[in-house]
Structure 1
Amino acid sequence: MRKHPGIVPVVLSGGTGTRLWPLSRESYPKQLLALAGAETLLQQTLARVAGQPGFAAPVVIANAEHRFVIAEQARQAGIADVTIVLEPVGRNTAPAAAVAALMAMADDPDALILIMPADHVVQDPAAFRAAVETGAAAAAAGRLVLFGMRPDKPATGYGYIRRGDPLPGLAGIDAVAAFVEKPDQPTAERYLASGDYLWNSGIFLLPAAAFIAELDRHAPDVLAAARGALEGAVRDLDFLRLAEAPFAAGPSISIDYAVMEKTDKAAVVPSEFGWSDVGSWSALWEIGTRDADDNLCVGDVVALETRGSYLRGEGRLVAALGVENLVVVATPDVVLVTRRDSDQKVSQLVAALKKDGHAAATQTQRVYRPWGFYQSVHEGERFQVKRITVNPGAKLSLQKHFHRSEHWIVVNGTALVTRDGEQILLRENESVFLPLGCVHRLENPGKLPLNLIEVQSGPYLGEDDIVRLEDIYKRI
């Protein structure tokens, strides 16, 4: 790739991915999951550009609750120079892009920023980078560039871009004639037949200065919120935490609505790089490798006389017999069953569950923390059993409880336990009792993950019965 001024990859990782529930939930959304390969969608997005010629170090703008998981996934992917910016609240894509543009301009007034959702699939990264190369010339000339996917079916789940005339002197780039909302089926069929329409991928290549100028013109409240949030930002360990009050005061609005549908500088690169927004279970079925009966089976699955289905067993056996065109996704706490042609409505199901107060609507059984994760194994009256996994070198906060005692049994690894000032080293099959009210801490001094079983007992076992006295992750 020819070197252009400062192409800064900006990965937007604030989405909740409710249409892929129950695997994707607010507490652990789809970009953090390995849905289309061995790496998570976030890792795949970073790998598309990290270390490639012509690209600067990536920036991830994320929900603050996911910061430690994102940092760990970047580390696992071998990407050490990523900047992680924390949004105090979700405000859609325009405010996040505005923050990224202001940050990029502080380092290079001529910077280009490449805005990429963290939860998309690109099956041909080389073709993606070639499309960025094509768009870079227009972006460097002040155009706000989108990447439009050439449709291969009359999809009703995407917004469309109507192509205008080719831009003079910019091969492979067209003006944008119009943006079109998600069409009905007959309209989508007309779009496909005309050849004049492209799917809107939600990926942008923007000259930072021109984008800021267009924000000032068309959405000054978005720009003011971004400026205030960045001016008040503070460092939090390895993260940049945006100021909450100014950011929350700004509108929640997409880049399309804030700028792209109003500007006269929009341009589009018609592209084909195996793109999917993975917006439904049927989208995963479409891009995956299916068997002779047109089924895509993941995990512990047995299927007989079954056709055209997406079957996924995560911790549970899924057995299907004599069914067609279904989506069946089983997790340890939820089983989803729907027809493939109804799976766009899964988010409506999640909304109903949230209204009814079901914790499973947003929370997974495995709860991630900066030091590792815990998972409830069994719960009864006045007791709870958990599995706890602590990463090498990590430690929990120094804490105490008012309503419960705990018993820790090491399954494998090495645990360093602090109990009222005493330090105890535990190895496999060894245990320790922590009486109610004692000040304690758990640490993994080893080079391998520490796994242990925690048995809690007491009249109240809620997670809010934790009084933190010290915490290396600044959660006090």
Structure 2
Amino acid sequence: MTATTATITPAILCGGSGTRLWPASRRTMPKQFIPLTGPVSMFQETVRRVCDATLFDRPIVVTSEEFRFVVAEQLREIGVEADIVLEPEGRDSGPAVAVAAALAGQRSPERLVLILPSDHHIPDAVDFAECCRQASPAALNGFIMTLGVSPTAPATGFGYIQPGAATGHGEALAVAAFVEKPDAKTAERYVADGFLWNSGNFLFRSDVMLDELSDFAPEMRRAAEAAVAHAVQDLDFLRLSAEHFAKAPKLSIDYAVLENTRKAGVLPVSFHWSDLGEWDAVLANSPQDEFGNSAVGPVHLRDTRNSLVHSDGMLTAVLGLENVVVVTTKDAVLVTNRASSPDVKGLVEALKAEGRTEATDHLRMHRPWGWYQRVDIGPRFQVKRIMVLPGAKLSLQKHFHRAEHWVVVRGTAEVTCDDSVKLLQENESVYLPLGCVHRLANPGKIPLEIIEVQVGSYTGEDDIVRITDVYGR
């Protein structure tokens, strides 16, 4: 008798930079961690999708050193616990999937693992969970099951799956072929011939995936298992062995296994799905007014139709335009027609070549203890707004080229300056002379916000000598 159902371990992959959604998405805070179609981030939306405890157990989140505290904070915001695994470097999706399979296999060799990209939009979590249930029998019986979305248009931005014969497990079909992103004419033919969009969500038994890796990418399996075996616990994170992980080939799981295995299956699904790969897709998946516009933030529209206008704080007024995308941030503005939105990635590459830091870095930089945001900068000075989370503290540090003034605007600050420790309340300030050993901490229950004025010959971030740091930096 064949198995039909089992608890699923979700494995959420948090790589990628999302440059097609610049300037909202950048390397320092990519699209999976920002709200695009609702009040929570794409990552939080993905986590919530797999919170049905009758089907899913504790998630695994595979991310990078850079985003470990962003992941932890966003999980805390929605009240979900997960195993956060840190990749020493990005090596595409193949090694990440191999690590997830190895970790889930420690719970049970035949554990079902569901791979989820962290930046996809699937609004119907109930329907998604039901499709995972329907795919489980085939996955339990040895198939690597992909959720194939029935196309609503001949899209050229997605990979496609050609379904084959029935597997004998419900509606699950064998995969006849995976095909790359087509041109417009080929896409029309694919849709007419019943091909499915490849959603990037797939379900498999841990031991099956590891066996297929042994057959088609043995170095990847060995490197992933060794990286897990030699991993160390760091606070609430599992840090993979850098030495062993670096030996994994840099390869997607599609090329490593899915396009080679004879065990690939697909479940045709009809839930709404988008990878939000460009601004035009964000518009299509966002609430719209009677004129086809989607407006986020302080936006004023007049005589404007079929447009996306997104502001993170600056008043943005659009007059007399159609089919445009306007995105304003505190340090960059994007204006493009919708047809050109797929070309934003090339624009970002050009900005990088010009040495523009706005191409990759936000003004607001997130740190383990909170964030800071530059307010102004000039010769021999810089002004920052700093937020410290309750109970958090910065490293004990000193500077060689600048002195600092701190003014508390919200909360309570515990300030260490050499041998002195004092508490500051709102509207109180302190001067930290050049070379002093100092630290800022938040002993309170609400976020601490200060204004920092730096004065000196150099105000760069690399003029920080950390003496002790609870975050191990």
Instruction: Indicate the residue corresponding to 1:199 in structure 2.
Output: 197
Unaligned runs of 5+ in 2: none
Instruction: Indicate the residue corresponding to 1:182 in structure 2.
Output: 181
Q: Indicate yes or no: 2:27 matched with 1:26.
A: yes
Q: Which residue of 223, 235, 238 corresponds with 2:236?
A: 238
Instruction: Indicate the residue corresponding to 1:15 in structure 2.
Output: 16
CA contact (8 A) 2:220 2:247 kept: no
CA contact (8 A) 1:418 1:441 kept: yes
How many equivalent residue pairs? 471
1:472 is matched by which residue type in structure 2? Answer: V
Instruction: Indicate the residue corresponding to 1:406 in structure 2.
Output: 404
CA contact (8 A) 2:295 2:309 kept: yes
Q: Per-residue displacement from partner, 1:64-96 (whole Å, max 9, x unpaired)?
A: 10001100110111013x100001111111100
Q: Indicate yes or no: 2:311 matched with 1:310.
A: no
* Cα drift, residue 246 of structure 1: 2.3
Question: What secondary structure sits across from 1:163 in the alignment?
Answer: strand
CA contact (8 A) 1:3 1:54 kept: no
Instruction: Indicate the residue corresponding to 2:57 in structure 1.
Output: 56
What CA distance in whole angstroms lies between the structure 2 residues aligned with 1:449 and 1:298? 25
* Cα drift, residue 156 of structure 1: 0.4
1:457-476 pair list within 5 angstroms = 457-475=455-473
What CA distance in whole angstroms lies between the structure 2 residues aligned with 1:387 and 1:177? 56
1:71 is matched by which residue type in structure 2? Answer: A
* Cα drift, residue 52 of structure 1: 2.4
Question: What secondary structure sits across from 1:121 in the alignment?
Answer: coil
* Cα drift, residue 177 of structure 1: 0.8
CA contact (8 A) 1:225 1:249 kept: yes
CA contact (8 A) 1:125 1:273 kept: no
Q: Which residue of 280, 288, 291 corresponds with 1:290?
A: 288
Instruction: Indicate the residue corresponding to 1:166 in structure 2.
Output: 166
CA contact (8 A) 1:6 1:110 kept: no
1:62-101 pair list within 5 angstroms = 62-80=63-81, 82-101=82-101
CA contact (8 A) 2:20 2:343 kept: yes
Unaligned runs of 5+ in 1: none
What CA distance in whole angstroms lies between the structure 1 residues aligned with 2:353 and 2:224? 32
Question: What secondary structure sits across from 2:334 in the alignment?
Answer: strand
What CA distance in whole angstroms lies between the structure 2 residues aligned with 1:229 and 1:71? 22
What CA distance in whole angstroms lies between the structure 1 residues aligned with 2:163 and 2:6? 27
* Cα drift, residue 308 of structure 1: 1.2
* Cα drift, residue 257 of structure 1: 0.9
Question: What secondary structure sits across from 1:275 in the alignment?
Answer: coil
1:72-471 pair list within 5 angstroms = 72-80=73-81, 82-168=82-168, 170-194=169-193, 196-471=194-469
What CA distance in whole angstroms lies between the structure 1 residues aligned with 2:41 and 2:4? 29
CA contact (8 A) 2:4 2:137 kept: no
What CA distance in whole angstroms lies between the structure 2 residues aligned with 1:147 and 1:92? 20
Question: What secondary structure sits across from 1:350 in the alignment?
Answer: helix
What CA distance in whole angstroms lies between the structure 1 residues aligned with 2:26 and 2:223? 28
TM-score (norm 1): 0.97
CA contact (8 A) 1:144 1:207 kept: yes
Q: Per-residue displacement from partner, 1:290-325 (whole Å, max 9, x unpaired)?
A: 111111111111122211111111121221122111
2:94 is matched by which residue type in structure 1? Answer: A
Q: Per-residue displacement from partner, 1:442-469 (whole Å, max 9, x unpaired)?
A: 0111111111100000001110111111
Question: What secondary structure sits across from 2:115 in the alignment?
Answer: strand
The alpha-carbon distance between structure 1 residues 438 and 471, as it changes in their structure 2 partners (threshold 3 A), is same
What CA distance in whole angstroms lies between the structure 2 residues aligned with 1:247 and 1:6? 28
CA contact (8 A) 2:212 2:257 kept: yes
* Cα drift, residue 3 of structure 1: 8.5
Question: Could you list the runs of 4 or more consecutive aligned residues of structure 1 that deviate by over 4 angstroms after TM superposition?
Answer: none
1:56 is matched by which residue type in structure 2? Answer: D
CA contact (8 A) 2:412 2:442 kept: yes
1:300 is matched by which residue type in structure 2? Answer: P
Question: What secondary structure sits across from 2:190 in the alignment?
Answer: helix
What CA distance in whole angstroms lies between the structure 1 residues aligned with 2:128 and 2:158? 19
CA contact (8 A) 2:146 2:202 kept: yes
2:162 is matched by which residue type in structure 1? Answer: R
Q: Per-residue displacement from partner, 1:391-413 (whole Å, max 9, x unpaired)?
A: 11111111111110000000011
CA contact (8 A) 2:4 2:140 kept: no
1:378 is matched by which residue type in structure 2? Answer: D
TM-score (norm 2): 0.98
